[in-house]
Structure formats: structure tokens, C-alpha cells
Amino acid sequence: MWLNTLSGSHTLLQWRTQYVSNTPISHIFLPHFLVQKRYASLKTALLNESFYPKSSDLFDLSQTSDLRTAKQPLLRDFQRFLSSSEMHELISAVTDIKTRGQVDAFGSLYTDTDYLLPHDDRLESRKVAFVFYLSTLTRSDGGELAFFETDRKHNPTKEIKLYRPKENALLLFTVSKRSWHCVREIRKPVKRYAIGGWFHG
């Protein structure tokens, strides 16, 4: 079993309410997402996976291959769990968006000076984006995910909400014209590990 025990429909209703009412886009930050033992094993597996540096105008970071082809079996298991009907039902219950099929999932690693500039994630059939954190960072470390306010043309204007990475927390948000976000530059010699990707519809 991966997930921490939910308290039933009442919790899901709370989550759904938070998700739709959060601004500037629908999103939710769920701490203590996985059962602690499973989380610890997953982190060990991720730290033993190979990461490949990637650089462009938009980013500097390192990434694993798609977790479907990960060397570590537990990472492949985690990708299968994300793609399971259990997870799709949870996503649907929280976001009111029907998702299905295989989930794209990659490990990411940001270290000193790494960053990801503003973008909206829109591509093909992506419906809900997720980031599962396997590091806890402090304010001075940087590495926060920042959501942007948008103007009438759906262009990003200013950062309006920040989420600092926290171990074993899951961030979900709806992919849309307004889902502009970035990862702020890491400013210390720390490591920010996460597994991120998209649920498709």
C-alpha cells in the first residue's frame, strides 16, 4: 500500500473544496502523502537512479528517464501506482477532472543555480500536473514552486503563491492557459529531489 490512510469521503470533500477554491489556479498541497516506510524506500530508489543534466533557455536541472523505464524497480512500481485506477479515482475526486491511462513521471534534481523559468505545462492531453517532493528546503535555499497571476491575455504577470519543497508532500494543479509557474533558482549547495509529471485525460 502506498497512500496514507484517508479519512474517507469527508477528507476528499475537504480536499476538493480546497482545490477548486485555491488561487490563482486550482491546486492543492498534500503533506504526508505516502506511508512513511514506502516514502523512505522510494527516496532511496530515486537517489540510486541516474540523472541526466538538461539545459536550455528555459531551465537548468537534471532528470531521470521516464519512470516506466527506470533502473530501480521501486520507481517502476511507483509509476504503475500513479497510473492505477486507485490514483485516477483520487485525482478525479479531488480535481473533478477525469484522468486515465499512463501517467508521465520523471525524477528531477535541482542543485545550486538550477532553475525552471515560467511556463504553463500545456501540451497534448495533459490535464493535471503533479510534483511529489523528496526533499525539504528552507527559505534561503530557494527552489520554491511559484504560481503566477495572469492578465486578460493569460500572460503571467507576477508571482503570487509559493510552495517550498517539503518531503513526502504532493502538489497537484490543473493544466490550463493560466497555469503559469516556475521553480525558483536554488541558491545554496543543496539538492532538491522530486518526482513530477502529468495525468492525462
Partner 1 sequence: MDSFVNSLYLERKTIACIKQQLISPKSIQLYHFLQQPIFRFLHSSLQKCSWHHEHAAHIHSFSTPSTIPLPIKTLLTVLDSDEWAMWLLLATGKEVKLKKQRLQLFGTGDYTLQHDIQERGIHCMIALTSIWGTNWGGYTSLVKEGKEIVRINPIPNSLTLFEQKKGMASFVKYINHRAGNKKHIVIHALYA
Select 48 or 138, whichever has its Cβ closest to partner 1: 138
Minimum distance, C-beta of residue 109 to partner 1, in the bound complex (Å): 16
Q: Is the dihedral of CA 138, 119, 29, 32 positive or negative?
A: negative
Comparing CB distances to partner 1, the nearer of 49 and 121 is 121
CB of 162 to partner 1, least distance (A): 14
Contact 97, 174 (CB under 8 A): yes
- Output the CA torsion 174→83→137→37 (10° steps): 140
Please, what is the minimum distance in Å from the beta carbon of residue 96 to partner 1? 27
SS3 119: strand
> What's the closest the beta carbon of residue 85 comes to partner 1, in angstroms?
36
- Pick 17 or 157: Cβ nearer partner 1: 157
Q: Which of 79, 119, 94, 123 is nearest to 22 (CA)?
A: 94
Nearer to partner 1, 49 or 159 (CB): 159
What's the closest the beta carbon of residue 53 comes to partner 1, in angstroms?
14
Enumerate binding residues for partner 1 (CB under 8 A).
57-58, 60, 113, 115, 117-119, 142, 148, 155-158, 180, 182, 185, 187
Do 168 and 31 meet the contact criterion of CB atoms below 8 Å apart?
yes
- Calculate the alpha carbon distances from 23 to 118, 125, 150 in Å: 17, 23, 11
- CA–CA distances in Å: residue 91 to residues 28, 30, 48, 49, 82: 11, 12, 29, 27, 10
User: Which residue, 10 or 158, is less far from partner 1 as judged by CB?
Assistant: 158
